[in-house]
Structure 1
Amino acid sequence: MARSYQQSCFLARALDVLGERWTLLIVRELTLGPRRYGELLDALPGIGNGLLAARLKHLEQYDVVRRTRPAGAGRWGAYELGDRGQALVPVLRSFVDWGAGLEDPPPEYTDRTAWSVTAMRLTAPAEAVSFDALTQLDVGGEEFWLHADGERVRAEVGPAPIRPDLRLTCGRETFDSLVRGQMSVEHAVAAGELVVAGDSGAARSFFEMFTLPDGTGGGVAEA
């Protein structure tokens, strides 16, 4: 049973649901679309099988997560954010901006491209909702796609559901340099470190719009 502060305070009640270790990181993973149980287990090294199962069961009770069955998920299906989970996206956005202001983590810390893509999506500026080019990212062999529909930015793991308008292929180091503003698209292309399939202007706009936060906060797109 989850521990409770046994306080009527709204913050305390929210922490009764969300304050346990790993909980918000499960929500983080599901901001990139539905994930199978095994994918969540792999994305959260150290959580353990039993603890993940317990956290998911707890979060299902509050509609933070729910079960779904996307195409190809197999008979066990997958998990996605429920309505109450989607409502947490602005909260995650604030945490990402706040965390970006901390000192750099030790080099032995685990780092994954998916976490950078999540941060880029969560902290994109308000005008990012108008970036309607369906964009496929191939970063060191990992695939992600992003698309804005005028109201929100969507990002998911895997290949784009239809042929993308823009495909960007590069290694992880190049990707990090691009999203941190340390390298221009033109330089990366000229050096053979970035392959752009689609409009080069859209590629420039993408890396101007979707960056890693610098810890100073600012306006962001709607969830």
Structure 2
Amino acid sequence: MKAYGQFCPLAQATQLLCERWTLLIVREFIAGSTRYSELQKGVPLMSPTLLSTRLKQLVKAGVITMKSESGKNHYELTKAGIELKPVVELLGAWGHRWAQTNLDEGDLDAGLLMWDMRRSVDPAVFPQNRIVVQFEYPDAPKGAHDWWLISEDGIIDLCLSDPGYEVDILIKSSLADMTAVWTCQRPFKQAVECGDIKVMGDKKLASNLQDWLKSSLLSRLGSLEELPKLNWVV
């Protein structure tokens, strides 16, 4: 990105952070991703070459650090990176309130949706024993129709191929309807009552489904009556 040629701290910050994809990579780190493969799932349309370039830029700028364990590399946010958390959350919440557009086909991505669900669900809502929730998206691209979220011993796993376990809850929905619910554009209960989202299986578990799935953090923040104030305590 061409430099602004200004000493202003905002200009200096945006020179680093406002290049294409950079803030989305920072979002992935804040959401808990530490490995290259995890980052790819959060930015699936980003080329591997560009992702590697942006990671090198963030390391050089001191936003992240790269470490190696058992021959495998992983990344961690530095203090500078951690201090970006309230900025990213506030910007995402602002985007939900003021920059949200009607979801069209180009904005829908089953893989990104399920990956975001996988890291956002609350495993404490379900029992410690294995609970399997299957999602069916008939309108998703070939190879992305069926997904399985598995909750067991406080750990959430995501499968694109049938893991072979008994399914406790089956959810059928269009990709657009589930995405609208996940981004707080539509209440889950309303979508179920209208029949746009169908929930089948264990009724007791299904009654806690909304507490387990929650919704996108940035969308939840954006749905508040007032945007949260920045909290710089690290």
Shift of 1:104: 1.4
Q: Which entry has the higher C-alpha Rg, 1 or 2?
A: 2
In the TM superposition, 1:1-223 aligns within 5 A as 3-68=2-67, 75-101=71-97, 102-111=100-109, 112-113=112-113, 116-117=116-117, 133=124, 140-142=147-149, 158=157, 171=171, 173=173, 179=182, 180-183=186-189, 191-192=199-200, 205=211, 212-213=219-220, 215-217=222-224, 218=226, 220=228
| Alpha-carbon distance change, 172 to 43 in structure 1, aligned in 2, over 3 angstroms | farther
Q: Which runs of 5+ in 2 are unaligned?
A: 136-146, 159-167
The size of the alignment, in residue pairs, is 191
RMSD over aligned Cα atoms: 4.7
Q: Which runs of 5+ in 1 are unaligned?
A: 122-130, 148-155, 160-167
Shift of 1:84: 1.6
Which amino acid is 1:54 matched to?
T
- Is the Cα contact below 8 Å between 2:90 and 2:227 reproduced in 1? no
SS of 1:105's equivalent? coil
TM-score by length of 1: 0.60
TM-score by length of 2: 0.58
Deviations 1:188-215 (A, max 9, x none): 9x942677669x66x5655678774495
- Is the Cα contact below 8 Å between 2:68 and 2:74 reproduced in 1? yes
- Is the Cα contact below 8 Å between 1:31 and 1:118 reproduced in 2? no
